Amino acid sequence: MSVKPTQNEALVSRILTFSCVDGPGNRLVVFLQGCNFDCITCHNPHTINHCTHCGDCVKSCPSDALSIASQQNGTQRVVWHADKCTHCDLCIDVCPDKSNPKIVRYSVDDMLALIRQHHFFLNGITISGGEATLQLPFIIALFKAVKSDSELAHLTCYIDSNGSLSRTGWERVSPYLDGAMIDLKAWQSDTHLWLVGRDKHRVIDTIDYLATQNKLHEVRLLHIPGKSDLDTEVDAVGDYLNTLPKEVKIRLNAFQHHGVIGEALTWEKCSESEMNRFHDLLFSKTNRPMQLPTIYT
Ligand code: SF4
Ligand code: SF4
């Protein structure tokens, strides 16, 4: 069975019909499955890979919500029965591939129908992930459809991204895009490579491009005490942030253990006092307002 999304179909891991932290105002947020980064600190590691339908998770389900179906071509497919699922996530815990059997395919028409149900309460939609832009043809088709629909055209269309999309990709979606939130997880390329599995050049290129297009809504900085380098490289980070338009929001995220697996669970969490130290240091270089976390776990 193909795990590849198509122009008119997306592989969706979760949908929030209301969020006020994923872009401006009230937003419907679609989390797409699949990511091209492999962050040590990922707090949703089961969104990284596509399900290979190995079947290992089926027996773990206490609610009989997973089964194996044989395909005409002789392969097997794991089927999720949403009506029986209690969302205990035991299936996710046992998956050897950092995946999730609860993936749903949505066509553009399916998604438009869902948005239409909620549009009276929404300012816009945000496509997140995983890495949203790995399913760019679907995003472009969906945003185009929203913008050309008389009932939905008032909704703003945002992307929440790790910044890895090429300049050409951003140019393709830009005519239909109102804004984007981009993560910057480290300053030095080798630190970035160690933390996420890729260097930071594409991320910087993305931030620069979106800023020139007035489509950069927010840059998110993840502070991991003693591991990331956004504090030790504060002069360079501050100088860079100062090149961005004043309207671009800066959000500081604190590393926490929720959802994290592997070695990062042994790392120190970012406390409120440590985050305030980082904030004050960065503020002394930028004099820009920055959004701080409201919850520390
Ligand atoms: S979710 Fe993981 S364990 Fe379950 S079938 Fe897919 S790859 Fe196998
Ligand atoms: S999350 Fe749903 S499908 Fe997965 S093990 Fe729990 S009940 Fe079964």
Ligand 1 closest atom vs CA 52: 7
User: DSSP strand E in the chain: where?
Assistant: 9-19, 27-32, 66-70, 76-80, 104-107, 124-128, 156-161, 179-184, 216-223, 249-254, 290-291
Closest ligand to C-alpha of residue 83 is 2
Domain-wise residue ranges, the chain: 13-47+103-291, 58-94
Q: Give residue 297's pLDDT.
A: 78
- Total residues belonging to the chain: 297
- Taking alpha carbons only, the member of 56, 62, 34 closest to residue 46 is 34
- To test the pocket of ligand 2, the residue of 90, 93, 102 to mutate (highest count of ligand atoms within 8 Å of its CB) is 90
Atom of ligand 1 nearest to the CA of 55: 5
What pLDDT does residue 1 have?
47
Residues 6 or more apart whose CB falls under 8 angstroms from that of 282 comprise 221, 230, 231, 234, 237, 238, 241, 252, 290
**DSSP count for the chain of H helices, then E strands:** 8, 11
Mean pLDDT by 10 residues, the chain (297 residues): 68 96 97 96 93 96 96 93 96 93 96 97 97 97 98 98 98 98 96 96 98 98 96 98 98 95 95 97 97 90
Through-space distance between the first and last CA atoms of the chain, rounded to whole angstroms: 40
**Sign of the Cα pseudo-torsion (69, 73, 74, 75, in order):** negative
d(CA 20, CA 64) in angstroms, rounded, equals 34
- Among protein residues, the one whose CA lies closest to atom 3 of ligand 1: 95
Ligand 1 center from residue 103 Cα (angstroms): 11
Nearest ligand, CA of residue 59?
Answer: 2
Check pocket membership of 87 for ligand 2, CB cut-off 6 A.
Answer: yes
Q: Does domain 13-47+103-291 have CATH number 3.40.440.10?
A: no
Six token digits for residue 248? 């671009």
- Spacing, Cα 84 to ligand 2 middle (Å): 8
CB 282 within 8 A of CB 234: yes
Query: What's the gap in Å between 85 CA and the centre of ligand 2?
Result: 5
The β-bridge relationship of strands 76-80 and 249-254 is: unpaired
**Residue 61 beta carbon below 6 angstroms from any ligand 2 atom:** yes
Q: At what angle do helices 108-118 and 136-147 cross, to 10 degrees?
A: 50
17 burial level (CB within 10 Å; 0-12, 13-18, 19+): middle
Give yes or no for residue 100 CB within 6 A of ligand 1: yes
